[in-house]
Structure 1
């Protein structure tokens, strides 16, 4: 299909959001039902490579396009921050593999669900952006922020539980780092929501 020059950015954002959502589904599934063969890790790495290619496309198009459909800074920041989510998912899964985390406790499982829900809202927001329904973006941005607030409470509770119950220093460090990495992913989702809201304000 042929797209106008300005549509290249929107089509790439759509591809980034779809790729991110598939990775989040894979991540959630791997956390809830770990595969002995580590197939999920391999697939996540493939999604991350796809994400890098899409981000490179955005950068390349920005470098050769004079008139862009959105502010250049917004386009760049949105692409980079969406890529940060995917990088965080991959990094967390790799670290869990290195640490041989076997107890996928309630905190880790719920975080994986929150990340997926946030990524689904990001994808819905991108659809609204592509269709220039800027005002409709706000509801999804608000939902992403609400989920991040839940993740904050979850992070605090997970640390309290860890301090209260874990007597093994090595295990303590392992789980603390995993909880922190999961929190960073949800924060990256919130960053995307904030960028989307700034785009809304500039275009509504």
Structure 2
């Protein structure tokens, strides 16, 4: 019993979730600026660095959460849920960084309408993710729990929109792009951006499970 009393009983998990979600939105918004200013190489480099910085900050939060799990005697929600949530959130940050790096490594020369639309949907998903994460700490309140579920449903709808944009983009790409190298580049970018929305939906599914169990 003395051992249990010496260990933290709660930890600051909710605040750390919020910190990570903030870093995700920062990375998403920086990536959106990268896309919007793609023709300016100086701005492109600047926003790539901002994406990297946000992803590294998110990594540090993930590390701190995973370490705190092992130091906390009683956690506010199930340990597996904490672990799954923070690591799935970190996947979103990683994918944003991967998208920025891939555009540079593949020497993508231009940004088209499909990249812009998928980026917009990815940013919206990340922003809704942040809203949903912010509600987790108040699940004992029924309206808060309901708001969290509605936000998760919105993420699901945005992911479905991204699926439709992705299918249309791929169809257009294979019908109209004569340069095989450019086709390969754009296909990879489309897939990465759509995967960001998929991973946001995975986060939403974890949150929904937490809501249903704890509200």
The equivalent residue for 2:5 is none
Task: Give the superposition deviation at 1:186.
Answer: 1.0
Distance (whole Å) between structure 2 residues aligned to residue 102 and residue 40 of structure 1: 16
Residue 104 of structure 2 is aligned with which of 97, 100, 111? 97
What TM-score does the superposition give when structure 2 sets the normalisation length?
0.90
Residue 168 of structure 1 is aligned with which of 179, 182, 204? 179
Trace 1:23-172 onto structure 2 (pairs within 5 A).
23-34=27-38, 35-37=40-42, 38-132=45-139, 133-172=144-183
The equivalent residue for 2:4 is none
The equivalent residue for 1:195 is 206
Distance (whole Å) between structure 2 residues aligned to residue 22 and residue 130 of structure 1: 22
Residue 19 of structure 1 is aligned with which of 2, 17, 23? 23
Distance (whole Å) between structure 2 residues aligned to residue 182 and residue 70 of structure 1: 31
Distance (whole Å) between structure 1 residues aligned to residue 129 and residue 112 of structure 2: 26
1:50-100 Cα offsets, whole Å, 9 max, x none, are 011000011011011121001111111110011000100100110001112
Q: Which has the larger radius of gyration?
A: 2
2:11–2:72 contact (8 Å) kept in structure 1: no
Aligned residues: 201
User: Secondary structure of 1:6's match?
Assistant: coil
User: Secondary structure of 2:103's match?
Assistant: helix
Q: Unpaired segments of 5 or more residues in structure 1? A: none
What TM-score does the superposition give when structure 1 sets the normalisation length?
0.95
2:122–2:196 contact (8 Å) kept in structure 1: yes
Task: Give the superposition deviation at 1:136.
Answer: 1.7
Q: Unpaired segments of 5 or more residues in structure 2? A: 1-7
